[in-house]
Structure 1
Amino acid sequence: MAEPRIRTTRHRTTVPADPDQVYALLADAGQWPQVFTPTVHAEVTEVADGDQQLIHLWALANGEVRDWTSRRTLDPAARRITFRQVVSSPPVASMGGEWQVDAAPDGGSEVTLLHDWTTVDDDEAAADWIGQAVERNSTAELEALSRAVTPGPDGEPLRFAFADSVDAEGPAEAVYEFLARAELWPERLPHVSRLDLTEQGDVQRMEMVTRAPDGSEHTTVSLRVLRPEQHTLVYKQTVLPAALASHTGRWTVEPHGAGVRITSWHGVTLDVDGVARLLGPDTDLAAARARIRHNLGANSTTTMRHAKEFAEQVAQQAAQQAAEQQGAAWTR
C-alpha cells in the first residue's frame, strides 16, 4: 500500500511589532479567538516540561466548526512554535506545522506559517477541501495577527478586555442552565428582541437581536462552545456590530462564599473605520472604548442579574420542597 501523499504550504507576512511581542501573542493560545478569525475557542489541557502543551481547538473550516487536539512545542529562544494534531477531525488524517518569528530587515517581524497534512484514504477531493481551508485560514490568521499588533491612530492598542461579576445564592447548575438555554432569552431578558439557536454537539450557533442601553438595536451571530463540566460557556461573534473587528467572551460560574460568582468576560478589538462610520469621523477612540465597554457590560450584567434571580428561585423552591417533605415525615 502506497504511503499517503503529504501536502505542504508556506505563508509569510511582515507585521509592525517587536518579534518577542509577536511570539508571546502566538504562544498564548487563550488569546487566539480574539486575534484569529477562524478560531472559536482554545483550551490548554496539559502542560509538560514547560515547553510541551496539549491544546483542544475549535475553529471554522470552510464555514463548519471543527475541533481537534494538537501538541505544541514552544521554543521562545528561537521564537519557534511547532504543532502536530494528536486527534484530527476527518477528512484530515494528519496535520502539523510551525510558526516562526524573525526580526524583519527593515524593522518589525517576519512571520512564517508552515503546514503539512494528509487525508483519510488519500482522497483527492478531501485534499482539495483541506487545502482551501488551510489557504483561507492561514491568510486570515496572518492578516489578523498584523491587525492585533498594530496600534490605533491614538497609539493605544485596538484590543482590550474587561469583566463584570454578580454573586448569587443559588446552585451553579441553575445559573449555567440559564446561560446555556439561550433560546429562552427573549422571554427572560429585556434587552433580547429575537434569538434563533441551533445546536450540534457542544457547539451552538446563535443569531440574536439586542437593544443597547442607548436604544439602538444590533444583530449579531455567535458561535458558542458549551463546557458544562466546568460551568463555563465561551463564545465568538462572527457577525459583529459595526464598531468591532472582533468580539469574544466567556461566562463562568464558580463557587463563592455560600453561593456562586457569575462572571462575564469580554475581549474586544476596535474597527477604526467602523467607529468612524457609526459614531462619526471625529470620534475619539478612548470615547469609543468607553461606550463599547458600557454597552457590552450593561447587557451582560443584566443577563447575570436575571440568571441570579433564576438560580435563587430554584434554591428557594428546593428549600421549600425539602421543608414540606420534612413536615410530612413528622405526620407519619
Structure 2
Amino acid sequence: MSAERVHRTTHEVTIDAPAGVVYGLLADATAWPLYFTPNVHVERLEFDGTRERLRMWATANGQVKSWVSRRTLDPVERRIDFRQEVPASPLESMGGSWTVEPRGASACRLVLLHDYTVAGDAAEDVAWVERATDSNSRTELANIKKLAEDWERLDELVMSFEDSVHVDGPAEHVYAFLHHVRDWPELVPHVSRLDVTEPEPGVQVMSMDTLTADGSAHTTESVRICFPHARRIVYKQTATPLLMSAHTGEWSLVEDAGGVTVTAQHSVVLRAENIARVLGAEAGVAECRRYVREALGRNSTATLNLAKAHAESHAAPRAA
C-alpha cells in the first residue's frame, strides 16, 4: 500500500442458490464478460490451480479501463482474494475479496469487499472511484444473483458456437477488413450504420445498426479489444437485442500453408423472459436458441465471406 488513505467498501446480496453454484460462477473469471455487465474481456495469463493472473478490461463510469489482477482461489472456504498489480488511473492500489457464505442447502450470502487508494487523494478522483466501484459492484451482484438463481437452466440459456471460412489470401488483409469497422457500412450489406471511436490504441467503442433477414433493423453497442500481433479481435455487446442478456464474441485468424482460416465465435446468454414477446407465445428456449444461432451465424458468415473476398482480391498472383 502507498501512503495514501485507504478507502474500503462492502457490498452484499442474498442469493437463492447453493453456495457452490455461486462460487463456481465467480471462480471462472474468463466467463465474466457473459456474467457481469461491466466486464468486457478477461485473459488468463497464469494459473496453477490456486493462484491466477488475469488481464481484465471493463467499463467504469462509461470509460473502458484495463488492468492486471492476481487472484487466490479457496474453494473450501468459498473465498477469492484479488489484488490489482498496476491499477488503472486514478487508482494507486485496488484489492479485495469475494466470499460466499452458505445459508442452508439452497441459499447463500455473497459479500464483495474492496480496499483502494487514489493517487493524490484528490476529492474528485476519490468520488470518481467511489462511484465506479459502487455502480459496478451493485451491477455485478445483481447479475450473479440472477444467473445463479436460474442455475438449473443455465445449460439451456448459455450457448456458444462458431463459423469458419478458409481464405486463399494473406492474413493481414483479412485482419485489416475486420479491424477497419469504420468502412463496414460501405462493404457489409447488413450493416446500415456504424459509429466508432478509439479511446486508446487497440480499444474500439462502436454503435451499429444491423438489418435482419425480414428487413427490420436493430441497434447494438459494443466494445472491441484488438490484438493485431495475435490477429484476434474480441468484443462484448454492451447493448444487446431483446433475446440476449449478454453476447460476447471473437474474430480469430490461424494461418496455414494454403492461406488462413478465419473463425467467428459467439457466446450468448438468452433472455428467457422476452422469448414470447419476440417469437410468439408458443416459442420456448429451444426455438430461441435456434433463432439466435441462425441470426448471428448468418450475419457473421456473411462478414467472413466478405473478408475472404476482400483478402483474395488483394492476394498476389501465384507463380505458375
TM-score norm. by structure 2 comes to: 0.93
Is the CA contact 1:69–1:86 (under 8 Å) kept in the aligned structure 2? yes
Deviation at 1:239, TM superposition (A): 1.5
Per the alignment, residue 313 of structure 2 pairs with 313
What per-residue deviation string (whole Å, max 9, x for no partner) do you get for residues 91-113 of structure 1? 11100011112322362332211
Distance 1:154 1:106, change over 3 A: closer
Aligned residue runs from structure 1 range 259-278, under 5 A:
259-278=259-278
Q: Tell me if structure 2 keeps the 8 A contact 1:223–1:236.
A: yes
Shift in CA distance, 119/230, structure 1 to aligned 2, threshold 3 Å: same
Paired amino acid for 1:190 = P
C-alpha separation in 2, matches of 1:261 and 1:87:
36
Deviation of 1:310 after TM superposition, in Å, equals 1.4
Equivalent residues in 2 for 1:19-34 (5 A)?
19-34=19-34
Q: Which sections of structure 1, spanning at least 5 residues, go unmatched?
A: 324-332
Amino acid at match of 1:259: G
Instruction: Call closer, same or farther: CA 1:153–1:193 in 2, change over 3 Å.
Output: farther
- CA RMSD, 1 decimal: 2.1
Shift of 1:287: 0.5
Deviations 1:44-66 (A, max 9, x none): 1223x432222111111011111
Question: 2:250 aligned with 1:250, yes or no?
Answer: yes
Matched, 1:230 2:242: no
Distance in 1 (alpha carbons) for counterparts of 2:153 and 2:89: 45
Q: Is the partner of 1:213 in helix, strand or coil? A: coil
8 Å CA contact retained: 1:29, 1:42 = yes
Per-residue deviation, 1:216? 2.3
Q: Distance in 1 between matches of 2:156 and 2:98?
A: 23
Q: State the identity %.
A: 44
* In 2, Cα distance between equivalents of 1:296 and 1:174: 23
CA distance in 1, matches of 2:23, 2:240: 28
How far apart are the structure 2 equivalents of 1:246 and 1:155?
Answer: 13
In the other structure, the counterpart of 2:96 is 97
Work out whether residues 43 and 55 of structure 2, in 8 Å CA contact, stay in contact via their aligned partners in 1: yes
C-alpha displacement of 1:258: 2.2
Q: Distance in 2 between matches of 1:187 and 1:299?
A: 15
Deviation at 1:155, TM superposition (A): 8.0
**In the alignment, is the contact (CA less than 8 A) between 1:154 and 1:285 conserved in 2?**
no
Query: Does the aligned pair in 1 maintain the 2:244–2:270 contact within 8 Å?
Result: yes
Once the two structures are superposed, residues 14-53 of structure 1 have per-residue CA deviations (whole angstroms, 9 ceiling, x without a partner) of 3333323322221222101111000011111223x43222
Which residue in 1 is equivalent to 2:161? 162
Once residues 281 and 69 of structure 2 are traced to their aligned partners in structure 1, the CA distance between those partners, rounded to angstroms, is 44
Please report how far the alpha carbon of residue 141 of structure 1 lies from its aligned counterpart in structure 2 after TM superposition: 0.4
CA contact (8 A) 2:276 2:284 kept: no
| C-alpha distance in 1 between matches for 2:133 and 2:60 | 8
Deviates more, 1:27-36 or 1:265-274: 265-274
Structure 2 residues not aligned, in runs of 5+: none
> 2: distance between equivalents of 1:102 and 1:254?
44
**CA distance change for structure 1 residues 66 and 154 in 2, over 3 Å: closer, same or farther?**
closer
Q: Secondary structure at the match of 1:4?
A: coil
Q: 1:42: which partner in 2? A: 42
1:110–1:257 CA distance, 2 compared to 1 (3 A) = farther
Measure, in 2, the Cα distance between the counterparts of 1:284 and 1:154. Answer: 13
User: 1:114-133 residue pairs with structure 2 within 5 A?
Assistant: 114-133=113-132
SS at match of 1:319: coil
Distance in 1 (CA, whole Å) between partners of 2:57 and 2:37 is: 12
CA distance in 1 between counterparts of 2:143 and 2:231 reads 30
Q: Which residue of 2 aligns with 1:193?
A: 192
**Counterpart in the other structure of 1:326:** none
Instruction: Note the C-alpha offset of 1:90.
Output: 1.1
Which amino acid in 1 is paired with 2:66? D
Aligned length, in residue pairs: 318
SS for the counterpart of 1:229 is coil
